[in-house]
């Protein structure tokens, strides 16, 4: 049995949760998130509490129970306060700026790297720090991972793009005679 799935999810004031069929939509002060789920789990809104119950007691339903509870809790949390990821751009001549719906970066290549910002995500770039925020935790994390993947931090000088809380293990370079 799922420990996470058994716990009821509290719905804060100012957040509206709507269940229709197999989809769940959450509306709050920061925006709206909607998601389609498999019919294995039933969603029920009672007063200010969201409860999830498996329709069958088979292995697949029990496995999805906690996962769907986490997704629903993240949706409720995201419309109240935005999820954020911070990336640090480190290196000589490395910089990032936002123009329109594109993130433009100089990362030591012969060309400028352009990344289209997905809908529902806001990006701020200022002096070596990129802040990615949005209501959907998965899209924020996916976009941050994609930007980091463009120039991963290297272990000798630490140049590249890394998460704010990430520690880059440094290696010792060549020894001179």
Write out the residue range of the structural domain in which residue 104 sits.
83-163
Look at residue 172 and tell me if it is in a domain: no
Residues 74 and 7 in one domain: yes
Bridge partners for 73 per DSSP: none
Is the pLDDT confidence value at 177 over 90? Answer: no
Predicted local confidence at residue 1, as pLDDT: 63
Of 60, 80, 100, which closes a domain?
A: 80
Same-domain status, 59 and 93:
no
| 122 pLDDT higher than 80 | yes
- Domain edge (last residue) among 25, 59, 80: 80
Q: Are 28 and 16 in contact (CB under 8 A)?
A: yes
Single pTM value for the model: 0.89
Q: Among 34-38, 93-97, 170-174, whose mean pLDDT is lowest?
A: 170-174
Q: What is the CATH number of the domain that holds 107?
A: 3.90.930.12
């Amino acid at each position: 049995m799922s420990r996470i799935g058994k716990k009821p999810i509290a719905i804060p004031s100012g957040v509206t949760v709507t269940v229709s069929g197999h989809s769940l939509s959450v509306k709050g002060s920061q925006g709206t998130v909607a998601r389609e789920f498999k019919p294995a789990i039933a969603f029920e809104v009672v007063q200010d509490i969201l409860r999830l119950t498996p329709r069958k007691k088979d292995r697949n339903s029990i496995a999805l129970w906690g996962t769907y509870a986490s997704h629903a809790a993240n949706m409720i949390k995201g419309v109240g306060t935005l999820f954020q990821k911070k990336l640090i751009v480190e290196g000589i001549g490395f910089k990032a700026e936002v123009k329109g719906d594109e993130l433009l970066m100089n990362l030591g290549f012969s060309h400028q790297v352009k990344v289209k910002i997905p809908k529902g995500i806001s990006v701020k770039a200022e002096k070596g720090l990129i802040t990615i925020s949005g209501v959907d935790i998965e899209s924020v994390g996916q976009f941050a991972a994609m930007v980091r993947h463009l120039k991963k931090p290297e272990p000798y000088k630490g140049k590249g793009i890394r998460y704010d809380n990430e520690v880059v293990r440094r290696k010792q370079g060549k020894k001179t005679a």
